[in-house]
């Protein structure tokens, strides 16, 4: 075969091929279209998965914020509430417990747990009423708080309901006698401590 005939054979093959339906071409197009659709489906799925991951991550962050802020605040409030009840209970025990042998110490201990107008009232009442009665009649009282509950609570104040038993002895009545009572005690936070500002029978 000569060099001049080679292009004719090549052209004839190309011409014949050009007249054919060229299934291979359509197959390639179909494959390419299927590939594009598959990629689109995977892109959509990937988008959904990414969105789901983002939502889960956001919820995790919110959960962490809830735990470390809200829950910690609640824990701090719980500790402060317990401290308020304890201060009210200890203060009432100090106010209602005294002995003729230790009056000065008892009054001084009670005053450290009081504040405001109630501190002034207690100071006068203890000196003018309690001290003479305790000295003359050998009056001794001991108070015990059975239980206490918050009725109001704020960051710097609280109202506590206390159930109290008070035992009293005197020269005239040496046998202990017990009386039960309930009191509403208001405590306020001053210099980082809970102090009694009001004391009212309930």
The string of pLDDT tens digits covering residues 123-139 is 999 999 999 999 999 99
Is the pLDDT at 67 greater than 70? The verdict is no
- CA distance linking residue 111 with residue 120, whole number of Å: 9
Q: Identify whether the C-beta of residue 146 lies closer than 8 Å to the C-beta of residue 101.
A: no
pLDDT of res. 14: 42
Tell which residue, 176, 194, 184, has the closest CA to residue 159.
Answer: 184
Domain membership flag for residue 55: no
In this structure, is residue 101 part of a structural domain?
yes
Say yes or no to pLDDT of 154 above 50. Answer: yes
2 within domain boundaries: no
User: For the segment 36-60, what is each residue's pLDDT rounded down to a tens digit?
Assistant: 555 555 455 545 445 454 444 444 4
| Percent of all residues in the chain with a pLDDT value above 70, rounded to a whole number | 62
Identify whether 40 is part of a domain.
Answer: no
CA 137 to chain centre: 51
Distance of alpha carbon 44 from alpha carbon 32, whole angstroms: 18
What residues does 167 pair with on adjacent strands?
Answer: 142, 178
> Strands, E, within the chain: which ranges?
140-154, 157-169, 177-190, 193-201
pTM over 0.75: no
Evaluate whether residue 65 is within a structural domain.
no
- Give the confidence band of 34 by pLDDT, cuts at 50, 70, 90: low
CA-to-CA distance for 40 and 59, rounded, in angstroms?
28
Max Cα-Cα span within the chain: 150
Bigger pLDDT: 196 vs 74:
196
Q: Which of 25-39, 52-66, 75-89 has the highest mean pLDDT?
A: 75-89
Is residue 156 a part of any domain in this protein? Answer: yes
Domain count, the chain: 1
In a domain? residue 185: yes
CATH of the domain at 88: 3.10.450.230
Q: Residue 186 domain-assigned?
A: yes
118-to-3, 35, 94 alpha-carbon distances in Å = 125, 86, 14
pLDDT in tens, 156-194: 999 999 999 999 999 999 999 999 999 999 999 998 999
Residue-range definition of the domain harbouring residue 182: 76-201
């Amino acid at each position: 075969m000569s060099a001049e005939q080679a292009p004719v054979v090549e052209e004839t093959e190309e011409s014949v091929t050009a007249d054919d339906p060229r299934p291979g071409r359509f197959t390639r197009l179909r494959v390419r279209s299927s590939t594009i659709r598959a990629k689109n489906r995977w892109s959509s799925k990937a988008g959904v998965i990414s969105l789901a991951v983002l939502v889960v991550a956001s919820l995790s962050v919110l959960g962490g914020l809830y735990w470390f802020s809200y829950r910690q605040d609640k824990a701090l409030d719980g500790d402060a509430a317990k401290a308020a009840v304890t201060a009210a209970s200890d203060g009432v025990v100090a106010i209602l417990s005294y002995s003729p042998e230790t009056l000065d110490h008892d009054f001084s201990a009670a005053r450290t747990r009081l504040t405001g107008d109630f501190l002034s009232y207690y100071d006068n009442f203890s000196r003018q009423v309690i001290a003479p009665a305790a000295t003359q009649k050998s009056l001794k009282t001991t108070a015990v708080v059975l239980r206490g509950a918050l009725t109001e609570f704020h960051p710097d104040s609280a109202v506590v309901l206390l159930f109290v038993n008070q035992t009293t002895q005197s020269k005239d009545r040496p046998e202990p006698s017990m009386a039960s009572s309930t009191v509403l005690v208001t405590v306020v936070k001053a210099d980082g401590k809970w102090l009694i500002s009001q004391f009212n029978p309930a």
